[in-house]
Amino acid sequence: MAQASSGEIGDQVNDALGREQVAERIVKVLVGLADAENLPAGRVLAIDAPWGSGKSWVAQRLAGMLAKEYEPGRALYINAFEFDFHNDPFAVLASAVLEAAKPSTVHESLRRAATEVLKTATPAVLGGLIRRGGEFLVGKEATDVVEAVATATDHAIKELLNTFDATKKSTSAFKAKLTEFASEQPGPLVIVVDELDRCRPTFALEMLERIKHLFDVPRVVFALFVHGQALHSAIRHTYGSGIDPDAYLRKFISIRMGLPRNVGIFSTQADKGDLAKTFMEKRYPKTVALDLHNFKAAIAVFAPVFNLTLRDIQAVMTLGQVMRSDVQHEPVQAAYLICLRVSEPAAFLALLAGDSQYQHEYLRLKNSLIQNRAALELADLFALAAGIETGRQKSPGAEEDLRWFRRAVMRFDLDNISV
pLDDT for 57: 77
- Quick one: pLDDT at residue 67? 66
pLDDT at 347 over 90: no
Separation of alpha carbons 14 and 62, rounded Å: 13
Q: What is the pLDDT of residue 157?
A: 46
Question: pLDDT digits over 353-398, tens only?
Answer: 766 677 777 777 777 666 667 777 777 777 766 666 665 655 566 6
> Which residues are within 8 A (CB) of 320 and not within 5 positions of it... i.e. 6 or more apart?
292, 295, 299, 327, 334, 335, 338
Model pLDDT, residue 278: 72
Q: How far apart are CA 314 and CA 316, in angstroms?
A: 5
pLDDT reading at 207 higher than 90? yes
Mean pLDDT (whole number) for 19-48: 80
With a cut of 60, say whether residue 146 has pLDDT above it: no
Spatial neighbors of 288 by CB under 8 A, at least 6 apart, are none
